[in-house]
Structure 1
Amino acid sequence: MTDTATQFLPPSAYFDADWYEREQLELFSCTWRYAGTTDDLKSPSAYRAVQVGRHPLVVVRGKDGELRAFHNVCRHRGTAVLSGSGVVEKQIVCPYHNWTYGLDGCLLAVTQRNEVDPNLDRSKLGLHQASVAVWRGLVFVHPDPAPEPLTDWLADLPDRMAPYDPQQLAEFGEPQRYHIKANWKVFMENALDNYHLGYVHKETLVGYDHKRQEQAACGDRHWFFYEPPLKPGQLTPMEAEAGLKPIATEPRWYGSAFGLIFPNLFVLSSAVWWSSIEVIPTGPETTTFEMRTRFQPGQNGKLAVAGLKAAVGDLTRRVLRKERTYDLIEEDVFCCEAVQVGIRSPRFSVGPIAYRYERGIQAFQRNVLDYVPLETGR
C-alpha cells in the first residue's frame, strides 16, 4: 500500500451540480461508451441513439452491414435526427425541416434548396462522424472520429475475463432498470467494495468464498474481480437449484467475476450466466442502472426465470431484516442511498479501509480525477 489517503474525491463530487456537469463534459464526453449489443443492431438500417456525456450520438447499420456512428445533430438547426431505436425506412430524415441523410451520414437532399442556398455544397454538410467499435458483441461509441482504439483502451481486461461470447448466448426478457437516489460514483464504489459481501449479502450471496477473492487493475483504467465458489469447480447452491446448463468449460470460471470497463460498465459472469450492468448518471444525486442477462440457449422459460434470479443473488430467497424483505440488488441500493445521506453530512469522512477488499475504490477515484481534476477552493 503506497497511499496514506483513503478518499481522493471531495464530498462535493457526489452532489455538486457543477461537478456533475464537469463529469459530463470532461469524462463521459471523452471516453468510450457502451451503446448496446450487436443484437440490437442486427438488421440493415437498424439504429440506436445514445447520449455520450454532452454528445448525442447515433449508431446505424448500413445496407452494406457495417456499423457507423454519427453525432445525432442535424447540420441545419441542430435537431436530433433520430431518437430511441428502430429501423430507418430508406434514409435518415430530420423531423424538423426534412433535410435527408444517407445511412453513411452524407447529406442527400435539402428541402427548398433554392430558398436556403442554390449553390449549397452538400458534400460539406454531412452528419459529423463519431467512432464505433465492437468487442464480444458489445457495441461502443466515442464522440471523437479518431480516438484511442477500443482494443488499446481495454488493455489486458479481456484476457482476464471468462472467455464467453454473449453472441452465442440467449438473452432472457427485457433489460431490467433500477433507479436509485445516489450519485453514480456511489454505486460504482459499492460494486468495487468487496469488504461488504460477507455482511450485507451474507444470506443472498451464499456459496462464494469471499476470503479467496482476486482483484487486479487492468491497464490504466479498468478493474477485474473474481471469487471462487466455496466448493472449487462446483456450482453454488443457488445455481444448482436453478438447473441451468453451465456456460463455463473450465473449473476456473465456476464462481463470480466481473470486469469494470471504465467509467461505467460492468460485465459479470458465473458458471451459468453472463450479465452487463450499465450505470447511467441522471443527476448529481440520481442514477439509473440497466442489467441485461444471458444464458445457454435452448432452455425453457421456467429455468430462464430461475437463472435470472440466480444472476442477481437468488431473489426467491427473501431475507427478513427489521420486518421487511430484501434481495441482493435491494441490499445494495439501500447501502448506496444510505451512503449518499452520509456524504451530505458536514462530519463526513472516510476512515481506514480494508485495503485488500477496497483498493479498487481508490483506483476508481484516481481515474475520475485524471479526467475531472480538483479545482482550487473545492
Structure 2
Amino acid sequence: MKDQSPYSLDEVIDRRIYTDEDIFRQEREKIFKRTWQYVGHESELREPGRYRLTTIAGEPYIVCRDQRGEIRVLGNTCTHRGATLVRGSRGQCKAFRCPYHAWTFDLEGRLIGVPIPEDYGPRFRREDFCLTQARVETYEGLIFACLDEQAPSLDEYLGEAAQYIERSCQGKEVIGYNKCLFKGNWKLYQENFGDGYHPPFLHQGMGPAFLSTYEANGEAINLGNGHMLLKYYPPEPQHLDLSKLSAALGIPLTLETMKTTGIINPYPGDYDSVLSVFPNFIVPDIVSVLSVHRLTPLAPDRTLLEITILGDPQDSPEFRQFRLRQSTVWGPGGRAGIDDIAVAEKCQRGFHAKAIATSLMARGSSDERAGMVFNEYTIRGFYRQWRHYMGWSG
C-alpha cells in the first residue's frame, strides 16, 4: 500500500495483530483479564456441586454452584503446589480434592482439609490458602466472569447488546455441545460473525443454495463497546429457490412448511440475528438454531472454539430434534461452520505474505453506525474497542 493511504486508521488492519507473539501475550493481559468472559450456562449447574471447567486469559478455572446455590468461578489450581484440582470438562462433587497431597477445598473455595497439618507449625492458617475467585454475574441464564475488580458491571459492559441476549436467550437451556480446534487467530472468527458481506459467496451450502438473487434483507449495527449485530429479515419468497433449499436442508419444503419449521418466520422473533459480544463471545440465532460460541485463544495461530446449543424447555420433542439437526450448521462439519473455520485458516496462511501489510475494512461510510448488512461498520467498531484496550493510539 502507498505511504499516503486514502484510508483511515479505522479502515485498515495491521496484519501483525493476527501473527505476532508479543501482541498475543498483550491481548491476554490487556483484554482477556479485563473483560467479562462467558464461562457457562446456569442450566448446566442445576444442583449444588455441579461444575464445568473453563479457561480465562490462559488460566484454568472451575465454574460451580455451591451448597447455598450461588455460582462461583474458582481457580483450578491447588494453593499448595499448583496441581489442577479437577479434570475432564464437567461433573459433580461435594468438594475439590487435590490428587497430589489431598488438600481439599469446599464449593466456596475454602481450604477444609490438610493431611498432617501440625507439621506446618503455628504460622500455617487455612484461611490464607483459599482458592482464588473471579467476579461473577449472570444475565438471562448466561454466566460471565471477570478477573478485573475495577472493570464496569456486566450490565454496563454489555450495554446495547443486552437486549439482544434477552431476546435470544431468555428462558433457554443447554441441549448440546460442539467444539473444535482451528489453525487461525481468534479475531478472524470473531470478526467473521460481524461480517455480512461474505455469506452469499463463502457459504455455498447456505447462501446461493437457496437464494435466487444476492439481495439480502438486513442490516449491520455497531452496538458500541466493540459489540456487533447482524440482522437478517425473512427472505422474500420471490428470492428463494425452494428446490435448492430443500436439497441443502434435506427437508422437502413449501412456503407453508417453511413457516411451520421457522425458516421464513424465524424462531422466536421476526428476524434472525448474529450478536457478537467483545471480545470472544457470539450468539447466532439463525433458522431456529440458537447457540453460544466461545473462543479461547491458545496461540496467535491456534484457537479453541466451543459451541453450546440452546433450546426452549417448552419445545416439542419434534422441534427439539429439528433444533439439534439444524445445529450442525456450525462447527467443523457444519454447512456454514466448516466454511468459517476453513476461511480463517486460509487467511492465517495468507498472512505469511509479508508484502501485503494490511487488510481493508472500508465498506460503508466511516461515520455510520448502522446500515446495509454488506457493510463493515460493525467490524470497525470491534477494532476500535480492541485498540482501546490494547492502548494503541495509531
Report if TM-score (shorter chain) is over 0.5: yes
Q: Which AA in structure 2 matches 1:372?
A: M
Counterpart residue number, 2:217: 212
Deviation at 1:310, TM superposition (A): 3.5
Aligned-partner SS, 2:354: coil
Counterpart residue number, 1:175: 177
Deviations 1:159-218 (A, max 9, x none): 2456244544562xx412233221111112222221112222354133698533222222
CA distance in 1, matches of 2:330, 2:276: 23
Kindly report which structure 2 residues correspond to 1:313-352, keeping only aligned pairs within 5 A, or say none: 313=329, 327-348=335-356, 349-351=358-360
Aligned-partner SS, 1:350: strand
- More moved, 155-164 vs 42-51: 155-164
Counterpart residue number, 1:321: none
Structure 1 pair 94–351 and aligned structure 2 pair: CA distance change class (3 A): closer
Q: Is the 8 A contact 2:224 2:381 kept in 1?
A: no
What is the CA RMSD across the aligned residues, in angstroms? 3.5
CA distance in 2, matches of 1:87, 1:286: 27
Deviation at 1:6, TM superposition (A): 5.4
Q: Is the 8 A contact 1:59 1:132 kept in 2?
A: no
1:275 equivalenced with 2:283 (yes/no): no
Q: Is the 8 A contact 1:247 1:273 kept in 2?
A: no
Q: Which AA in structure 1 matches 2:363?
A: A
Tell me the percent identity: 24
Q: Which of 358, 365, 370 is equivalent to 2:388?
A: 370
- More moved, 208-217 vs 132-141: 208-217
Counterpart residue number, 1:227: 232
CA distance in 1, matches of 2:165, 2:194: 16
CA distance in 1, matches of 2:228, 2:155: 15
Counterpart residue number, 1:57: 61
Normalised by the size of structure 2, how large is the TM-score? Answer: 0.79
- More moved, 242-251 vs 113-122: 242-251
1:128 equivalenced with 2:132 (yes/no): yes
Aligned-partner SS, 1:258: strand
CA distance in 2, matches of 1:269, 1:124: 45
- In the alignment, structure 1 segments of 5+ residues that lack a partner are 316-324
Counterpart residue number, 1:353: 362
Q: Is the 8 A contact 2:140 2:166 kept in 1?
A: no
1:257 equivalenced with 2:273 (yes/no): yes
Q: Is the 8 A contact 2:193 2:276 kept in 1?
A: no
Counterpart residue number, 2:189: 187
Deviation at 1:68, TM superposition (A): 1.6
Q: Which AA in structure 2 matches 1:211?
A: A
Kindly tell me the number of residue pairs found equivalent between the two proteins: 362
Q: Which AA in structure 2 matches 1:373?
A: G
Q: Is the 8 A contact 2:226 2:386 kept in 1?
A: no
Q: Is the 8 A contact 2:36 2:154 kept in 1?
A: yes
Deviation at 1:330, TM superposition (A): 2.2
Q: Is the 8 A contact 1:6 1:351 kept in 2?
A: no
Q: Which AA in structure 2 matches 1:185?
A: K
- In the alignment, structure 2 segments of 5+ residues that lack a partner are 1-5, 365-371
Counterpart residue number, 1:287: 303
Q: Is the 8 A contact 1:68 1:104 kept in 2?
A: yes
Q: Which has the higher contact order (CA 8 A, sep 6+)?
A: 2
Deviation at 1:57, TM superposition (A): 2.0
Q: Which AA in structure 1 matches 2:183?
A: K
Structure 1 pair 8–113 and aligned structure 2 pair: CA distance change class (3 A): farther
Counterpart residue number, 2:3: none
CA distance in 2, matches of 1:314, 1:67: 29
Q: Which AA in structure 1 matches 2:222?
A: A
